[in-house]
Amino acid sequence: MVGTMTYEGAQWNAGLEVLHALVQSGEEAYFVGGCVRDALLGRRASDIDITTSAAPELVMRLFPDALPTGLKHGTVTVRRAGFFFEVTTFRQEAGYSDGRRPDEVFFVRDVREDLARRDFTINAMAAGADGGIVDPLGGVTDLRASAVRAVGEPAQRFGEDALRIVRCVRFAAEFGFAVDGPTWAGVLACRDKLGLIAMERIGAELDKMCAGQDPGRAFGLLLAAELPERFKAPLPGTWLAGLRLAARETEGVSRGDRADGGSDPGEGRGLARYVPIRADADLRWAALLLAGRASKADAEDVLRRLHFASKRMKRVAAVIGLHAGLDAGSEEESLRRSWTLAVLDYGTEAAADWLRLFEDGAVREAHGIPEALRSAAPGWTAALPAARISELAIRGDELAALSGEPAGPWIAIALRELLEQVALGALANDAQSLREAFMRKRRAT
């Protein structure tokens, strides 16, 4: 990591064109915030934001195709070479009566005043077109020290927008940083303000944690600070208690000790073993839910409170439900039967997700997954004669005709019974065998 910026790549070059246009108009302009932080850390910046002394109206005149995405707050979105850049006028903010948004925004002429309103020093740096860093708050020093430190008084920063408390945890986990003592004290002092924050915003932050570099540590820090209990819709206590137990079992202690009272970089590592590194965010959510002994209903409850999309919630819940149906024993026949029935209940896609979730041996060990099950399950799935009712060689209307009874819910039950027999190898999947098995069952009852 260095103290100056170098710009390479099409996105940075497009951003430089925007900076040059603003500077040539007689204004100041800088790259700012997370893109500067990430570049100094050698990470790829997903979004490149720009701050400028130019008023929004001037930015709109300089870039006629710009989008007025936030004029009230001084933000204009500029398009250049296929990339989008949020260009925001230097500003200060005042009055956060709802603990979420500023009551007043006013424009200023000095970039240092703009940086002073930001959340953490590592996000409060600007970089000019020449690569020079504007860093009045010590962001570069904190990057070198691997520290998350609030700008100014932590309680004031967190009081302005309590979501910054959760973001503090996310940054610490994402970068493997410690939270400095005063900032961690501010987290603990202001955490009750999280009840003011919409759960959509909380859910988005937690989802970024799950998609990030170290979800296990992120959730370990959330638990250490007792934040999930303070959300507007508190997360279920039984799951949180299960997560804490899992963390203690593998970590040995709840948090590291630092002389300044801050959060140690190693704190919260106890959950890391439960979360697969190569899995996508949905499967990482499933891993954390399973680590806390969540049921399918618990999983749906957690993700519903966090306002997850229905499709994602169903995917995660299916993995949890499938897992709950598996036999914890060691005999192959018992394992195969439970796997087969679970696949019939939740589908082959959930089965494939479960297998991806437990590819890593350390993750399997943490969750107590029998090696025999994980190694044999793919073959068992591939060998299924039928995995869904639509694959049976008989239809519901045929059963109704055979029975002479009107169609009703009984047909789905009968088809499921036939599917189980076929999948377990007790019955051939041909129409005649299925008809005979159905009629035998009818006569017996």
389-444: which CATH topology?
Serum Albumin; Chain A, Domain 1 (1.10.246)
Task: Characterize 249-278 residue by residue with b for buried, 16 or more Cβ atoms within 10 angstroms of its Cβ, and e for exposed.
Answer: eebeeebbebeeebbbbebbbbbbbbbbee
Do domains 1-145 and 389-444 share one topology? The answer is no
CA pair distance 206, 285, nearest whole angstrom: 10
Report the run of H or E that residue 340 belongs to, with start and end: helix 332-346
- The domain segmentation of the chain, as residue ranges, is 1-145, 146-294, 325-382, 389-444
- The tens digit of pLDDT for each residue in 281-318 reads 999 999 999 999 999 999 999 999 999 999 999 999 99
Strands 29-32 and 49-52: antiparallel
- Per-residue tokens: 128: 């000019």
- The tens digit of pLDDT for each residue in 172-216 reads 999 999 999 999 999 999 999 999 999 999 999 999 999 999 999
The CATH number, out of the four listed (3.40.640.10, 1.20.120.80, 1.10.110.30, 1.10.150.170), of the domain defined by the range 146-294: 1.10.110.30
pLDDT higher than 60, residue 8 = yes
- The tens digit of pLDDT for each residue in 395-438 reads 999 999 999 999 999 999 999 999 999 999 999 999 999 999 99
- Per-residue tokens: 109: 């002429």
CA pair distance 98, 101, nearest whole angstrom: 7
Q: What is the mean pLDDT of residues 144-171?
A: 96
pLDDT higher than 80, residue 268 = no
In which region does residue 118 sit, left (phi positive, over 0), alpha (psi from -120 to 50) or beta (all else)? beta
When pLDDT is cut at 50, 70 and 90, the band that residue 263 belongs to is: low
Q: Could you tell me the CA-to-CA distances from 15 to 18, 44, 55, 75, 357 in Å, in that order?
A: 5, 14, 18, 16, 39
CATH 3.30.530.20 fits 1-145, yes or no: no
CA pair distance 160, 105, nearest whole angstrom: 13
Average pLDDT for the chain: 92
Specify whether the CB–CB gap between 26 and 33 falls below 8 A. no
pLDDT higher than 80, residue 252 = no
Name which residue leads in pLDDT, 249 or 421: 421
